[in-house]
A and B are shown apart, each in its own frame.
Chain A
């Protein structure tokens, strides 16, 4: 139930006083309530659960996480699998 799917906001509008949007999930577009992220802008990625945006996703943080993994390579070369670090 706590499934959250990332999608890109393509349109933002008001529905009877509630902030709504259209979100593109890799080609499938759905209506998503963005009252929970009123600062969201078209083009940003949101994490969507049960038709609501949980949060705006950070591209910068995603890049940095992946960059951190690159450093694992160095660690792994120093500590081959199965061998314990000193």
Chain B
């Protein structure tokens, strides 16, 4: 019998023990940011924020790949998807994200061949079966997703599948943490680092960040017990005036991370500057294909151009993603903006803070 099933980390008994410990050690208010949108959803789904002492405020971070993918990338995706000889493939979340006008779903309704895939490897298989078509994969996601995309590119190269390309839009967590902590509007005092990003990358990269900004960082998993354990360890550090990197997700994460996966990433990708939707340009916060893999970059095959596009004037997604506003601060929340008619990406994604508030009924009276 294994202890590794998620059920072990949803135990009510352990949850209560952890909440009691957090209550016992908390002497003053603390602002803690969970980076990952998956954690935001778990926190709201299980009502963990409501179990904490009143002073502990959880700030929702930018860890929603769909939310931070730039308008420009989405417009490029739409432009590519509308070509007759293209099969455009993407993770499902991306399809309903509004661009400046259309989304990928409506492009599909107008006749574009847009397909949802669970894994980028499926896109490579589609390419192998449709050699007369250009198969493009929308490469979004953080370090968790990058090994799968890098490995798919390697698989395509090894097997001579030349009609497979990617639209590179991947982003990295550490540069975003730098951007948040160095901002004058920052109010984050401690971080829950994203456990599955760390499963791949380890957590050594966070040690200079914790030291430089005097901010504790605790690697945290996704089940209620994991999240509360991460919060407990962060509060312990804050109360003691410490700022180290600790690991509350040891069954999945080591300090070094998965070195094979990191090697696969480094073989295919290199850091590039990237524009984050709602946040702006963050230096070296994205990944682009290395020169020897350039032929897998869709930009080599299509003239896509660069456009400056305007967001909905009502939407405050940028402030939500930077952790300076909550969905409740938005006058459009639940009115003009709902999951059915989203104005911004955080209302669409299964990791977006606005969708989490809407879904779990956090409606202010």
By a beta-carbon cutoff of 8 Å, the part of chain A in contact with chain B is 1-4, 6, 8, 16-18, 26, 33, 35-38, 45, 47, 49-52, 54-55, 57-59, 61-66, 69, 72-73, 75-76, 79-85
Which listed residue, A2, A26, A47, A72, touches B17 by the CB 8 Å rule? Answer: A72
Closest Cβ of chain B: how far from A86's Cβ, in Å?
11
* A49–B313 CA distance with the chains assembled, in angstroms: 35
Q: A52-B148, A66-B3 are in contact. List 10 more A-B contacts (CB 8 A).
A: A3-B38, A36-B200, A36-B258, A37-B261, A50-B118, A50-B145, A55-B252, A57-B251, A73-B17, A81-B23
Say if the beta carbon of B144 comes within 8 Å of chain A. Answer: yes
Closest Cβ of chain A: how far from B257's Cβ, in Å?
8
Say if the beta carbon of B102 comes within 8 Å of chain A. Answer: no
Known A1-B140, A36-B260, A50-B148; contact A16-B6, beta-carbon cutoff 8 A: no
Q: Give the A-B contact count at a CB cut-off of 8 A.
A: 170
Residues of B within 8 A of A36 (CB): 147, 151, 200, 258, 260-261, 264
Question: Interface-forming stretch among B79-87, B191-199, B292-300?
Answer: B191-199
Closest Cβ of chain B: how far from A55's Cβ, in Å?
4
Say if the beta carbon of B18 comes within 8 Å of chain A. Answer: yes
* A19–B25 CA distance with the chains assembled, in angstroms: 48
Residues of A within 8 A of B350 (CB): 1
Say if the beta carbon of B357 comes within 8 Å of chain A. Answer: no
* A72–B14 CA distance with the chains assembled, in angstroms: 9
Contact B151 A33 (CB under 8 A): yes
Residues of A within 8 A of B222 (CB): 3-4
Top 10 A-B pairs, shortest CB-CB distance: A51-B119, A79-B24, A52-B148, A62-B251, A61-B250, A62-B3, A36-B261, A2-B144, A61-B251, A55-B199
Residues of A within 8 A of B229 (CB): 65, 69
Residues of B within 8 A of A64 (CB): 250
Closest Cβ of chain B: how far from A74's Cβ, in Å?
10
Residues of A within 8 A of B17 (CB): 69, 72-73, 76
Mark each residue of chain B from 254 to 293: 1 if its CB lies under 8 Å from any CB of chain A, else 0: 0001101100100000000000000000000000000000
Contact B141 A1 (CB under 8 A): yes
Mark each residue of chain B from 128 to 147: 1 if its CB lies under 8 Å from any CB of chain A, else 0: 00000000000011101101
Residues of A within 8 A of B200 (CB): 36, 54-55
18 residue pairs from A and B, CB less than 8 Å apart: A1-B65, A1-B91, A1-B141, A1-B142, A2-B196, A6-B6, A16-B159, A18-B151, A45-B2, A47-B196, A50-B91, A51-B122, A55-B258, A55-B261, A66-B8, A72-B18, A76-B24, A81-B23
Contact B250 A82 (CB under 8 A): no
Which listed residue, B23, B118, B194, B250, touches A2 by the CB 8 Å rule? Answer: B194
* A52–B155 CA distance with the chains assembled, in angstroms: 13
* A82–B17 CA distance with the chains assembled, in angstroms: 13
Say if the beta carbon of B311 comes within 8 Å of chain A. Answer: no
Closest Cβ of chain B: how far from A59's Cβ, in Å?
6
Most chain-B Cβ atoms within 10 A of its Cβ — which of A16, A54, A79, A82?
Answer: A54
Residues of A within 8 A of B91 (CB): 1, 50
Say if the beta carbon of B158 comes within 8 Å of chain A. Answer: yes
Which listed residue, B4, B18, B20, B260, touches A37 by the CB 8 Å rule? Answer: B260
* A56–B47 CA distance with the chains assembled, in angstroms: 30
Closest Cβ of chain B: how far from A27's Cβ, in Å?
12
Mark each residue of chain B from 1 to 35: 1 if its CB lies under 8 Å from any CB of chain A, else 0: 01111101000001001101101110100000000
